[in-house]
Amino acid sequence: MNIKILGTGCPNCIRLEKNVIKALKMLEIEASIEKVTEISDILSYGVMSTPALVVNEKVLFYGRVPSSEIIKEYL
C-alpha cells in the first residue's frame, strides 16, 4: 500500500500524517508514507486545498483532516 500526504507541511498536514500512522497501527498494516510538498505535484492530483490523503494513487480526502477512525474505514 502506498500512501501520500499532500501538503506543504502545515499543522493540518502533520495531524493528517499522525492520524494515518495511528490508523495503520490499529489495522496492523505496513505501508509506505510519502510526503508530497511541491505545489505542482499536489496540483497534478486535482487537489485544490490541502492537506490531502492519497492511497494507491486515489485521492480519498482533501481540504480536511479525517480522524484515524475514519481513515481506518477507508484503508
Set 1, 10, 27, 43: catalytic member = 10
Known catalytic residue at 10:
yes
Q: Which residues of 20-32 are buried (b: 16+ CB within 10 A; e: fewer)?
A: beebbeeeeeebe
Q: How does strand 32-36 pair with strand 2-6? A: parallel
Set 3, 5, 6, 13: catalytic member = 13
Known catalytic residue at 13:
yes
Please identify every residue annotated as catalytic.
Answer: 10, 13
